[in-house]
């Protein structure tokens, strides 16, 4: 008879319909986890609780050991993977950008009602490490009430704003056409699109687009499209939609295609994520 006991190598996801702005993930033994480079629509922040990993964010590559807080601004192309087979465990929290922006506005960090990104990609600030561990414990505590969880989330995010330095305001990054290219992909990722279509929407040559897009977004146009499909799939799986139905809605050829790609980007199967 198959065992229903969760393995230490299985990722654990937490969500609550009364707190739709936050999602949690943890794993006790991630030595076999493998992440492809990807990005999130959320503001993501986590802690390495044991062992160490190789953390890549943009052009920054570093070894991150226990006690490290890692963070990813929305859209940051990144990956975390085991460091030479060493033990590695972590907690991650994913916050809706609009919710974080609201906190930033309340304390005077947000300008023009826009999310203010952070300068650092990692820190060993003890208070943030301890605060995230406490919040993760409260969120995943089946006995804790919604009010307690919500209050703890607000308090932690306010501490994040006070502790971390915001990134400086910069002029528009790169060619405006790159933004049009990204927007075209985001608007059409559920169907098969051609390079010529993206170039036409962006008014850029194929050679320039391929080179400059990866420099700007950290992903090739195709990887960016796949990332959009995975983010859409996550949102639909959270609603409990059947995996095969999600696969076709997201633009994958079939459920097996989604299964392979989802595992590469999320280091979990669609079934593990949905449950």
The closest of 122, 45, 50, 44 to 86, measured between CA atoms, is 50
In this structure, are 145 and 187 located in the same domain?
no
Q: What is the pLDDT of residue 2?
A: 39
What pLDDT sits at residue 14?
96
The dihedral through the CA atoms of 80, 83, 84, 89 has a sign that is: negative
* Residue 198: CATH number of its domain: 1.10.10.60
CATH number at 137 reads: 2.60.120.280
Please report the pLDDT score of residue 6 as a whole number: 60
**Residue 236 and residue 262 in one domain:** yes
Indicate whether 145 and 18 sit together in one domain. Answer: yes
Token pair, residue 112, equals 């023009």
Give yes or no: residues 156 and 70 share one domain: yes
Question: Same domain, yes or no, for 129 and 190?
Answer: no
Taking only the tens place, the pLDDT of each residue in 124-164 is: 999 999 999 999 999 999 999 999 999 999 999 999 999 99
Domain hosting 212: range is 176-274
Q: Coil, strand or helix: which one is 220?
A: coil
- Ranges of residues in the chain with a pLDDT under 50 are 1-4
181 and 269 in a single domain? The answer is yes
Residue 5 located in a structural domain: no
pLDDT, one tens digit per residue, over 29-49 is 988 888 889 999 999 999 999
Both 95 and 204 in one domain: the answer is no
Same structural domain for residues 83 and 30?
A: yes
Total domains present in the chain:
2
| Whole-number Cα distances in Å, 166 to 108, 116, 171 | 12, 7, 15
Among 163, 188, 212, give the residue marking a domain's end: 163
Residue 181 lies in a domain: yes
Same domain, 131 and 182: no
Structural domain ending residue among the three candidates 142, 163, 184: 163
Let me know whether 202 and 143 are in one domain.
Answer: no
- Give the max Cα distance, the chain: 61
Q: What pLDDT, on the 0 to 100 scale, is given for residue 4?
A: 47
Query: What backbone torsions phi and psi does residue 93 show, to the nearest 5 degrees?
Result: -125, 140
């Amino acid at each position: 008879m198959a065992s229903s006991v969760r393995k230490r190598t299985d990722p654990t996801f937490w969500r609550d319909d009364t707190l739709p702005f936050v999602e949690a993930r943890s794993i006790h033994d991630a030595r076999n986890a493998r992440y492809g480079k990807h990005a999130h629509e959320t503001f993501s922040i986590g802690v390495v609780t044991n062992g160490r990993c190789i953390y890549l964010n943009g052009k920054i590559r570093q070894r991150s050991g226990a006690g490290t807080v890692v963070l990813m601004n929305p859209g940051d192309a990144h990956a975390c993977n085991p460091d030479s087979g060493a033990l590695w465990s972590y907690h991650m929290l994913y916050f809706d950008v609009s919710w974080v922006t609201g906190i930033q506005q309340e304390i005077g960090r947000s300008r023009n009602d826009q999310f203010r990104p952070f300068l650092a990609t990692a820190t060993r600030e003890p208070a943030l490490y301890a605060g995230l561990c406490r919040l993760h414990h409260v969120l995943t505590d089946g006995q804790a009430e919604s009010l307690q969880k919500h209050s703890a989330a607000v308090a932690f995010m306010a501490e994040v704003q006070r502790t971390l330095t915001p990134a400086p305001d910069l002029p528009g990054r790169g060619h405006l056409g790159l933004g049009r290219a990204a927007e075209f992909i985001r608007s059409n990722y559920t169907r098969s699109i051609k390079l010529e279509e993206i170039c036409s929407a962006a008014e850029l040559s194929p050679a320039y687009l391929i080179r400059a897009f990866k420099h700007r977004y950290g992903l090739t146009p195709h990887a960016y499209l796949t990332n959009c499909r995975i983010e859409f799939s996550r949102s639909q799986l959270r609603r409990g939609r059947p995996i095969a139905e999600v696969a076709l809605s997201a633009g994958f050829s079939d459920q097996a295609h989604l299964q392979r790609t989802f595992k590469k980007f999320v280091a979990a199967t669609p079934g593990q994520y949905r449950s």
